[in-house]
Every structure is written in structure tokens, then in C-alpha cells.
Amino acid sequence: MAPNGLVVNLDGPWPERRHDSGMLAESGLIKLLTTKMNVIGTIYRIYGDPAYPISEYLEGPFRNGALALSDEQKDFNVAMAGVRIAVEWGFDEVVQQSAFLDFEKNLKVLLQSVGSLYTVGTLLTNCRVCLGHGGKVSDFFGIAPPSLEQYLKNRLD
């Protein structure tokens, strides 16, 4: 989820229950980040789930170890918890805008292409956000999404 309200990386579906760090490893996201997040010597990071391993391009909350967390580390964790909630809003919006994605009621994993349906629902939700509808995440971060034309152009390039 990008701060402009668009889902920018989507991977899966994954068979059976999987640990987040295992899905991260298999997704190839870390390799993608190494090519996309280093711009002219400046390294950018994304903030991830606490289950993800910390890397040069992936940051997470400070963890209690042998030493207690400093006040600054605690403040960082509290502030970033709000960011993680905003990410969940984006995924909730995909399901709210595409009623056919209500897994418990409609989807049959072995009878339908659930991954393809979710991908289409995500694409349509991203288009809706670009048109100025449902920008809860972009409002939270104060970053406008691209125009629909620019978004679709980038998807096709």
C-alpha cells in the first residue's frame, strides 16, 4: 500500500496457512526493493509487518530485547502503528468495493480463480481511488493519487 492510497504490490494467493516472513521470502519483494528503492545513492525503506525480517530496504518496529526501549523508540512504534492501520484500510476498501470478494460468503477457493478475482478487484479499486473516490489512505497521509490516465499508463508500460 502506497501513501497515495494505491495498492502497488500484490502477490499470492498462497496455499494453506503461511507465516508472513515465508510469504515475503517467496514473493521476491526484497529483490524488487533492491532495484527500486535505491535512487542515485539514496536508499528508501518501506515499513513492514513486525513478522518481517529487518533489511536495508524493509523497516519494522523496535522490539524489546535485552535492553528496554528508549522513549524515542516507543514513540516511533506508536506513530508507525497508526501507519499500519492505514494500510489495512486500503485492503478493506478492496473488499468493500467488490462485493464478490467477500471470501466467507462468495468465493470457493478450489472452484474459482480467487487470486485473479482479487487482482481485478484491486485494480478496479485503484482506478476508483485515482478518480477521487474512497481516498481514506491518501487523505490520512495527505498525498493525492495520480490521475486515472497516468495510473493506467504506468500499468501498461
State the pairing for strand pair 58-59/38-39: unpaired
pLDDT tens, position by position, 86-110:
888 888 888 888 877 776 666 666 7
Look at residue 131 in the predicted model and tell me its pLDDT. Answer: 94
Sequence ranges of the domains in the chain: 20-152
Residue 58 phi, psi dihedral angles, 5° rounding = -130, 120
**Residue 105: its pLDDT value, please?**
63
Residues of the chain with pLDDT under 50: none
- What is this structure's pTM? 0.79
Confidence (pLDDT) at 97: 84
Q: What is the number of H-type helices and E-type strands within the chain?
A: 6, 4
**Burial class, 107, CB count within 10 angstroms (exposed 0-12 / middle 13-18 / buried 19+):** middle
pLDDT at 38: 74
8 Å CB contact between 28 and 39: no
pLDDT of residue 66: 60
Give percent of the chain above pLDDT 70.
90
pLDDT of residue 124: 93
CB-CB contact of 81 with 49 (8 Å)? no
SS3 32: helix
